[in-house]
Structure 1
Amino acid sequence: MRIARFTTGDEPRFGVVMGDVDDLGQPDDDTVVVELAGDPLFAGVKPTQTEHRLADVRLLAPVIPRSKVVAIGRNYAAHAAEMGHDLPEEPMMFLKPNTSVIGPGDPIIYPPQTQNLHFEGELAVVISDVARHIAPERATDVIFGYTIANDVTARDLQKKDVQFTRAKGFDSFCPLGPWIETDLDPQDFADGLAVQTYLNGDLKQDGSTKDLIFDIPTLVAHITSVMTLLPGDVILTGTPDGVGPMEVGDEVEIAIARIGSLANRVASRD
């Protein structure tokens, strides 16, 4: 089931995307969004009688975390190598503020404090329940579904500050979308899910979740051993190699197999 958050010009609503959508997120002409009553994370999936053509709605970030985005660094060996880092012995966590979240088509704002803004395409996990001290074998019990993220990073500030808060925390630095896929478990696929990032149509990242150093159950267990996850919290699982710079006017699109694609353009703050 694909759970979307959308608007038709008034208040945001939730809906179920019904119809054929290919792996790149391209719907057929008959795809519709059936409105849901309330927030599915708290009210459950309760369809109404109202539906809209997908082409007629504006998709928003499928979830706005009420608490936090927990991101994982250096979770692909090739990415750690390209950044000149050793492999971590345990998941390396950092936080992105919920104010960094934007949706499909929203602009990534290039702040004046940086001269080296990078894309990082990632699989994102949306949490369904209060989760504390979750064993790996119970991880799926607290996962609502999966979406796509761009862990936008001011690379020069990351190096300058020697920690990640400012470099990854600007407003607009966490695009999410296009929807949450609930009928999916990446662990079910021996070859993983393909994670690809395109910059102005050119393929830059071409990875797979099978290459995660720490798999999703391990991440959920590790994070919840440290902090409580709340419904709507998001985990970013790490990025494959191939990260690189974006400039004002560029479009970055991230496609993950069996989910769809997330596209955003880079804009100046002025």
Structure 2
Amino acid sequence: MRYLARSADGTPLLGDDEGFVPLAAAGPSLETIQDALKQAPDGLPAPGDARAQRIPADEISFGLPLSPVKKLWGIGLNYADHAADLDEVRPEEPASFVKPPSTATGPGGPIRLPDEEVTNRVTAEAELGVVMGQTFSHVEEDEFDDVVAGFVPIIDMTSEDILEKNPRFLTRAKSFDTFLVAGPWIAIPDSPAAFLDDVSVQTVVNDEIVAENTLEGMLFKPPELVAFHSQVMTFEPGDVISTGTPGAGVIKPGDAVKAVVKPVGVLESDVK
């Protein structure tokens, strides 16, 4: 499996399990992560063929892998167990919403909580993000491999006290700055659809596993989500659908949050 990422200073990177090289050193025609996503997976160069020495992942400070951020779709109540925990009716269609690009931040965050006078109960939710690789609309589920480039760990945030006032406040409850952390990289498997069989998601707060599940627990699997939302709008390389959480944990300043998305990667962020 290969990985696309950006360093904290914005340098696009290409990697594998042995480490990362500058994207331009592996593919001189690839200037941005979006350029590379259009060629994933078959058209991506091999990091080992680059004229640069691999740097191990643990020696790199990673930034937000996508810049500029474009469309960010979120999916609510997509795990049956989580919907039951919230005493919510299982939706018959995906319960989706859009988050503005200003919510997005990279590994480490920090997640900056609003003043308590604005909201005093914010939750963090680990999720699997699906990253688009092509410009497309009106696709079918069996075209998933043709249009999706890879996957990214995500920590999504919700202001639950605002949302409880009125479900129509969902956009505001989801849209505070830093309310979506993504990274540290985009995993690029050979077959995105087959890769989904092995994925599990854990929400971890202060080293305690708050919730975990496999994609078998989803009401709407990623191929269905991509096909469904492609009937609404045109997707472009780098657009993301965050596919919902197995469960959320309340966060406070000083906490540490992880999205453990196996085998994609582990995303961590502090809370301030």
Normalised to the residue count of structure 2, the TM-score between the two structures is 0.86
Residues 190 and 92 of structure 1: CA distance in aligned 2, closer, same or farther (over 3 Å): closer
Q: Which has the higher helix share?
A: 2
Checking the alignment, whether the CA contact within 8 Å between 2:69 and 2:104 is kept in structure 1 is no
Q: Give how far 1:160 is off.
A: 2.0
- Letter aligned with residue 106 of structure 1: G
- Letter aligned with residue 52 of structure 2: T
Checking the alignment, whether the CA contact within 8 Å between 1:186 and 1:193 is kept in structure 2 is no
RMSD of aligned C-alpha atoms?
1.9
SS in structure 2 of the partner of residue 178 of structure 1:
coil
Q: 2:154 aligns with which of 146, 149, 159?
A: 149
Q: 2:220 aligns with which of 214, 219, 235?
A: 214
Q: 1:35 aligns with which of 22, 32, 35?
A: 22
Match of 2:15 in 1: 17
Match of 2:145 in 1: 140
Tell me, yes or no, if structure 1 residue 265 matches structure 2 residue 270: yes
Identify unmatched segments of 5+ residues in structure 2: 25-30
Residues 189 and 140 of structure 1: CA distance in aligned 2, closer, same or farther (over 3 Å): closer
* 1:91-112 alpha-carbon deviations (Å, 9 max, x no partner): 1110011111111112000101
Checking the alignment, whether the CA contact within 8 Å between 1:152 and 1:168 is kept in structure 2 is yes
SS in structure 2 of the partner of residue 248 of structure 1:
coil
Q: Give how far 1:266 is off.
A: 0.5
* 1:69-101 alpha-carbon deviations (Å, 9 max, x no partner): 011111111111111111111111100111111
What is the rounded CA distance, in whole Å, between the counterparts of 2:242 and 2:191 in structure 1? 15
Checking the alignment, whether the CA contact within 8 Å between 1:69 and 1:97 is kept in structure 2 is yes
Tell me, yes or no, if structure 1 residue 73 matches structure 2 residue 76: yes
Tell me, yes or no, if structure 1 residue 108 matches structure 2 residue 111: yes
Q: Give how far 1:56 is off.
A: 3.4
Q: 2:64 aligns with which of 58, 61, 66?
A: 61
Normalised to the residue count of structure 1, the TM-score between the two structures is 0.87
Aligned residues: 252
Match of 1:22 in 2: none
Residues 199 and 185 of structure 1: CA distance in aligned 2, closer, same or farther (over 3 Å): farther
What is the rounded CA distance, in whole Å, between the counterparts of 2:3 and 2:223 in structure 1? 22
Checking the alignment, whether the CA contact within 8 Å between 1:5 and 1:62 is kept in structure 2 is yes
Q: 2:52 aligns with which of 32, 40, 50?
A: 50
Match of 2:5 in 1: 4
Match of 1:97 in 2: 100
* 1:123-143 alpha-carbon deviations (Å, 9 max, x no partner): 000011112101111122111
The ranges of structure 1 where at least 4 consecutive aligned residues each deviate by more than 6 angstroms after the TM superposition are none
Q: Which has the higher strand share?
A: 1
Q: 2:177 aligns with which of 157, 163, 171?
A: 171
What is the rounded CA distance, in whole Å, between the counterparts of 1:189 and 1:66 in structure 2? 25
SS in structure 2 of the partner of residue 60 of structure 1:
coil
What is the rounded CA distance, in whole Å, between the counterparts of 1:204 and 1:185 in structure 2? 30
